[in-house]
Structure 1
Amino acid sequence: MNAFDAVEICAGAGGQALGLEKAGFEHALAVELDSNACNTLRANRPSWKIAEGDVADESVWRPVDYQGVSLLAGGVPCPPFSIAGKQLGANDERDLFAWAVNQVEVVQPRALLLENVRGLSMPRFAGYRQHVLDHLTELGYIAEWRLLQASDFGVPQLRPRFILVALKAEDAPYFHWPETQPPPPNVGATLVDLMAAGGWRWAERWSRKADRIAPTIVGGSKKHGGADLGPTRAKRAWDEMAVDAMGVADAAPSADKPKDHKPKLTCEMVARIQGWSDKYEWEFTGRKTSKYRQIGNAFPPPVAHAVGAAIIRAFKHEGSRREFENTEHDSVYRALRASDGFVTPERLMKISRLDDPAELERRIGLLSRDFHVEIQTEGTKTRYKLGDFKAFTGQQDHARNDLFLQYRARIS
């Protein structure tokens, strides 16, 4: 039997799952809300156990049943942290990052791997990230964040992903982030054969115009309707590569298309830009828009493969030992958390090494979006105290439960 088993939450259509499988993990369970993505997982891996439904619902799966699994992994929803959205973080009913981290206490995996959008790496979420690191430390894990570019792992697309890896103390010193690979081929070289599949004799000419890697593929959500290749800036980049980004095509250009035709991409083409290839074979089920959404929201398999392989090397204690970076993401958060009571602004500024009172106020304001911050005022004097984390971590009375049920039809 495979020595390294995995439970994957918010598994989507299988981008991370396939990469982890290539690295050497065997899925004990994959949990996913979207029925179309579940159908894709079942079509590709009939032997896998697939649990369909809300990952936080114990009638769908019980985390305690998978205690001691080698890896707990997931690509929890991105909208709470997306730069393109409102960045509601802990106040977004789709936020499952904190909940996923909390499952470490129940599942007690040998390692944790969570991926999300670049927005989670921004100053807006410094306190949120610090809370995650501190909580994992309390649970006996050593954790580290890293922003990885998909284009550094053979994927012909920008696609930055913010990765959290946590391991138990005996394995952590052997974890090294995967080394980058040579630059990937550009869009034209990647897609020229698919673009010519319908007989379009100008495919080679088109490929010379598509001479760069792709902008980040955006799968979008059920809330925002049909498929296209992203926001205005991305569409402009696609236009410069002679690609019509206003939709997804059913088939490659036909033989009668003129040389100045500006083609749309097919789902097969988008999948290749996401890293699926002959090495990472996968079939997507469902209608076109659903397929595109599954592909566009995925974690590129080559990146998951690289990170998963690095985790297995750590399990085997291969290579040299190292120290994890103990990055302090938010000194104001840490100062408040270390205090037993209310703290004056002057004291906070001294501990946090801040010189500007306005900057302290800004940082308190950011923290108050994800944490309850108590403010005590006596005359002209103000003091602060850090309260509870607002994020959903499994509380039965959390507002997330009602909001999730209310908006479930458009959550993806």
Structure 2
Amino acid sequence: MRSVELFAGAGGLAMGVSLAGFESLAVVEWDKWACDTVRENQRRGYPLVSGWPLHEGDVRDMDWSSIPQNIELLAGGPPCQPFSMGGKHQAHDDKRDMFPATVQVVRKLRPKTFIVENVKGLTRSSFANYFEYIKLQLELPEIPRREHESWFDHLLRLQSEKTSGHMHGAGLTYNVVATLVNAADYGIPQKRERVFIVGTRSDLPIDWHFPDATHSEAALLYSQWVTGEYWDRHKIAARARPPVPEKMAKRIQALAAKPPATLPWRTVRDAIADLPDPRLRAAMHIRDHKFQDGAKVYPGHTGSPLDQPAKTIKAGSHGVPGGENMMVLPDGSVRYFSARETARIQTFPDGYVFHGSWTETMRQLGNAVPVALGRIVASSVGESLIRAELHRLQGTMCATRTAA
């Protein structure tokens, strides 16, 4: 199965797509530092990226003539600053809004499916019309915006086309599903809420739905406060364990009577348990695992508790306002995550290295899709494509037998 990755960054979603069995025909990213990270891993022979055809540059300037139409998957996370909770919230007025460029590539390549990832802020009520506009453009990519037409007038025209009942006569169309996902519910050690917009081409018999959650907070509470399995696994003696949270007492009691069927959320401790403290000599020879001094707590700026999934790893242009790039130790003190610890939280493999300073690496990681989450979503899409192809082949065989 063939894929193209747009706005690839340091490669999180693209690596997930590769792990799901897709072959990348083009990996496009404009940021030099992120491209240097991919190139460094290619130079080191890292298998997941060694064969990527990396293109450094603007998606809008890409020559797509060498990429065939009808590829199986187009994937990417358009720059999220126009919709980020920490950004300027300009949406369609922000020059960094790359959704129009994404729609243009869909129109050009006609992929069988696409995966678009973006921030939770996209779903805010203030962006409701523009979010609807994004989805309708992806549903009807062959009805482009006219010259001098405002985005809102284009939205009204798309809505009219859809409600007219003529949608499937409009040429290339997609069935589009938008889902708000908490990465922690899929085994990522991070409470990262993101929107996934997945499209399947309407002329193909693709039956797809978002994968069911596999992990839960309830199961984590059960393993911590009912069975104690969590503390036993981390070799935390009874006297060193924190007390049962009072506000959780009734919930924990209910869980004892009815154990959850899911797996526990993965925590910061789960993610980094086998890494030495970056302040120790043992950490010196681990790539991207250097201690960064200066972490402080102040109102509104707190770190991630060790025994919960991390807060959302962010890439702030003026620092990270909520302290998402630091952790709270058992004694209440805080320190910054090392780049390697952050990579663990974003589920990048340990063999994957990053180009640039701690600040630059943390920016790349904050912009990334967790590799494991990318694999889960891409695998579900890949499985639906395989089922559709088997359905087509079975139909062909039945038609051949009937004709015979």
Contact 1:64–1:107 (8 Å) recurs in 2: no
What residue number does 1:213 align with?
309
Contact 1:140–1:169 (8 Å) recurs in 2: yes
What residue number does 2:329 align with?
242
Contact 1:166–1:172 (8 Å) recurs in 2: no
Q: Which amino acid aligns with 2:384?
A: A
Question: Normalising by the residue count of structure 1, what TM-score does the alignment of the two structures yield?
Answer: 0.63
Task: Give the one of 112, 137, 151 matched to 1:135.
Answer: 137
What residue number does 2:50 align with?
46
In 1, the alpha carbon distance for the partners of 2:347 and 2:323 equals 22
Q: Which amino acid aligns with 1:289?
A: T
Name the CA shift for 1:171/1:231 in 2 (closer, same or farther; >3 Å): farther
What residue number does 2:396 align with?
none
- Report the 3-state secondary structure (helix = DSSP H, G, I; strand = E; otherwise coil) of the residue aligned with 1:162: strand
Contact 2:8–2:28 (8 Å) recurs in 1: yes
In 1, the alpha carbon distance for the partners of 2:315 and 2:281 equals 27
Deviation of 1:142 after TM superposition, in Å, equals 0.8
What residue number does 2:202 align with?
169
What residue number does 1:325 align with?
none
Deviation of 1:234 after TM superposition, in Å, equals 4.2
What residue number does 2:213 align with?
180
CA deviations on 1:207-264 (whole Å, 9 max, x unpaired) are x96221111111224xx3xxx5x213747xx56x239xxxxxxxxxxxxxxx776332
Name the CA shift for 1:181/1:318 in 2 (closer, same or farther; >3 Å): farther
What residue number does 1:57 align with?
61
Contact 2:205–2:388 (8 Å) recurs in 1: no
Contact 2:211–2:377 (8 Å) recurs in 1: yes
Task: Give the one of 173, 186, 189 matched to 1:153.
Answer: 186
Deviation of 1:30 after TM superposition, in Å, equals 0.5
Deviation of 1:64 after TM superposition, in Å, equals 7.1
Q: Which amino acid aligns with 1:193?
A: D
What residue number does 1:14 align with?
11
In 2, the alpha carbon distance for the partners of 1:308 and 1:209 equals 30
Q: Which amino acid aligns with 1:35?
A: K
Choose 103-112 or 43-52, whichever is displaced more: 43-52
In 2, the alpha carbon distance for the partners of 1:199 and 1:272 equals 19
The unaligned stretches of length 5 or more in structure 1 are 202-207, 244-258, 322-412
What residue number does 2:145 align with?
none
Is residue 107 of structure 1 aligned with residue 109 of structure 2? yes
Q: Which amino acid aligns with 1:213?
A: P
What residue number does 1:190 align with?
271
Contact 1:63–1:103 (8 Å) recurs in 2: no
In 1, the alpha carbon distance for the partners of 2:15 and 2:8 equals 10
In 1, the alpha carbon distance for the partners of 2:310 and 2:115 equals 26
Deviation of 1:165 after TM superposition, in Å, equals 0.5
Q: Which amino acid aligns with 2:197?
A: L
Moved over 6 A (4+): none
Q: Which amino acid aligns with 1:36?
A: W
CA deviations on 1:132-170 (whole Å, 9 max, x unpaired) are 333333331111100111111211111111011011125
Is residue 289 of structure 1 aligned with residue 359 of structure 2? yes
Is residue 231 of structure 1 aligned with residue 321 of structure 2? yes
What residue number does 1:342 align with?
none
CA deviations on 1:346-386 (whole Å, 9 max, x unpaired) are xxxxxxxxxxxxxxxxxxxxxxxxxxxxxxxxxxxxxxxxx
Give runs of aligned pairs for residues 367-382 of structure 1, distance below 5 A. none
Contact 2:339–2:362 (8 Å) recurs in 1: yes
Task: Give the one of 108, 115, 118 matched to 1:116.
Answer: 118
In 2, the alpha carbon distance for the partners of 1:191 and 1:108 equals 41
- Report the 3-state secondary structure (helix = DSSP H, G, I; strand = E; otherwise coil) of the residue aligned with 1:56: helix
What residue number does 1:94 align with?
96
In 2, the alpha carbon distance for the partners of 1:172 and 1:132 equals 24
CA RMSD, Structure 1 to Structure 2 (Å): 2.7
Choose 47-56 or 208-217, whichever is displaced more: 208-217
Percentage identity across aligned positions? 34
Name the CA shift for 1:134/1:297 in 2 (closer, same or farther; >3 Å): closer
Contact 1:13–1:295 (8 Å) recurs in 2: yes
In 1, the alpha carbon distance for the partners of 2:332 and 2:211 equals 41
In 2, the alpha carbon distance for the partners of 1:198 and 1:23 equals 36
In 1, the alpha carbon distance for the partners of 2:19 and 2:67 equals 25
In 1, the alpha carbon distance for the partners of 2:22 and 2:103 equals 20
Give runs of aligned pairs for residues 239-278 of structure 1, distance below 5 A. 241-242=328-329, 262-277=334-349
What residue number does 2:74 align with?
72
In 2, the alpha carbon distance for the partners of 1:286 and 1:14 equals 15
Deviation of 1:28 after TM superposition, in Å, equals 0.6
Q: Which amino acid aligns with 1:187?
A: V
What residue number does 1:383 align with?
none
Deviation of 1:294 after TM superposition, in Å, equals 1.2
Q: Which amino acid aligns with 1:20?
A: V
The unaligned stretches of length 5 or more in structure 2 are 42-48, 141-171, 216-263, 283-303, 392-404
Contact 2:206–2:385 (8 Å) recurs in 1: no
Between the two proteins, the alignment pairs up a number of residues equal to 283
Deviation of 1:100 after TM superposition, in Å, equals 0.3
Choose 137-146 or 305-314, whichever is displaced more: 137-146
- Report the 3-state secondary structure (helix = DSSP H, G, I; strand = E; otherwise coil) of the residue aligned with 1:116: strand
